[in-house]
Chains A and B, each alone.
Chain A
Amino acid sequence: MHELSIVMSIIEIAESEINKAGGGIADEIELDIGTLSTIEMEAFDFAWNQGIRGSLLEDAKLHVNRIEGKAKCLDCELEFPIENYYDSCPVCGGHFNQILQGKELKVKTITIQSTVDG
């Protein structure tokens, strides 16, 4: 259940960004999670709901961009979508895949709602 460690890391990153911005709370958070990134979304959602309690992300709207896996065949240079590392090239049948995308796991943006006293 590494999803909870992932959620806790996201909260750490977000809280540090909010502090840098001078305080407030997160209104929205946008994540890139590739389909090849070993994150089980069901487990992630469960961990998310538990993890954000009492944090600056408690009321944040979560947006997850699922980045589809894409590979390049090193035999025939074809670029094609993959769901698994072991998917073969649809043209030449080879397994010499170079992963181009799908392993993303990052915090893209945070919308911070801050209070400015005047």
Chain B
Amino acid sequence: MCATCGCSSDTHDHHDHNHDHSHSKKIVDVEQDILHQNNLLGERNRGYFEAKNILALNLVSSPGSGKTSLLERTLTDLKGEMDFYVIEGDQRTTRDADRIHATGTKVTQINTGKGCHLDAHMVMHALQGMKPKANSVMFIENVGNLVCPSMFDLGEKERVVIMSVTEGEDKPLKYPDMFHSSTLCIINKTDLLPYVPFNLDKAKEYIQQVNHQLPVIEVSCTTGEGLQDWYGWLKSKVLIEEEA
């Protein structure tokens, strides 16, 4: 059957058809990145952040590595030093946003439903609703997942991957894309090191193998150990306030 006009080509000849038409084939060179649309919106977000001198960070990890706990500590400890905003990404509920809200920080929750990652489009709409002030810091906490979020640029300046010592030290080898695309790695829950078989040296070796440029900071959000290093790194990334 002809897919265009629905005529049955085996019962009558096409060229006798009463509205004479011919089929033509044309090869189009598309050469377009499949994530092009997301990348465009990512760049749009990046331009927005740059224009307003906002430092945007994309926090990624597996579920339960301590992204939200790290944010709670950071927002509380650095309160008054910087203006913070948080975008929370989860499949369901506002539980994380509620925790952030309790620290007094402006937060927007994105529920992705079935989606396994945030994309630039969702972040764009969240920004339109939040209207963050200039010279601030925007944390975007991605959906807990070490696979898909690595592919989607949100327009962030820095991508921070968090792993914890209750996970295997071979996470960087098992999920290399995330570690390869990140600009900082935080190893969390170091207070539990005496109780778990996690090999810190091996973990760092694996991180270096996947991404030799990735700096590593060890922290414990429970005891506060190492958090000063993280705050130091964060402050070094904050851009100098522009004169009005």
Contacts and interface: CB of A to CB of B under 8 A. Distances in A.
Interface of A: 1-2, 5-6, 9-10, 12-14, 17, 21, 24-25, 27, 31, 36, 38, 59, 84-86, 88, 95-97, 105-118
B20 interface: yes
Interface in B84-117: 115-117
Contacts of A59: 3
7 contacts: A1-B148, A24-B4, A38-B150, A84-B176, A85-B179, A85-B210, A88-B209
Interface of B: 3-5, 19-38, 115-117, 119, 147-148, 150-151, 172-173, 176-177, 179-180, 206, 208-212
A113 B28 CA distance: 11
Contacts, number: 115
A112 B23 contact: no
A107 B230 CA distance: 41
B212 A13 contact: no
A13 B22 CA distance: 26
B32 A13 contact: yes
A86 B27 contact: no
Task: Give the secondary structure class of B's interface.
Answer: mixed
Contact of B34 (A10, A24, A36, A97): A10
A2 B112 CA distance: 13
A97 B116 CA distance: 29
Contact of B28 (A1, A17, A115, A117): A17
A118 B20 CA distance: 6
A10 B35 CA distance: 9
A106 B31 contact: yes
Given A112-B26, A118-B20, A12 B173 contact: no
A116 B176 contact: no
Contacts of B5: 115
Nearest to A104: B33
B71 to A, nearest CB: 24
B180 to A, nearest CB: 5
Contacts of A109: 27-30
Nearest to A1: B116
A11 B116 CA distance: 20
B150 A86 contact: no
A13 B35 CA distance: 10
A108 B232 CA distance: 45
A13 B36 contact: yes
Contacts of A88: 209
Contacts of B34: 6, 9-10, 13, 31, 105-107
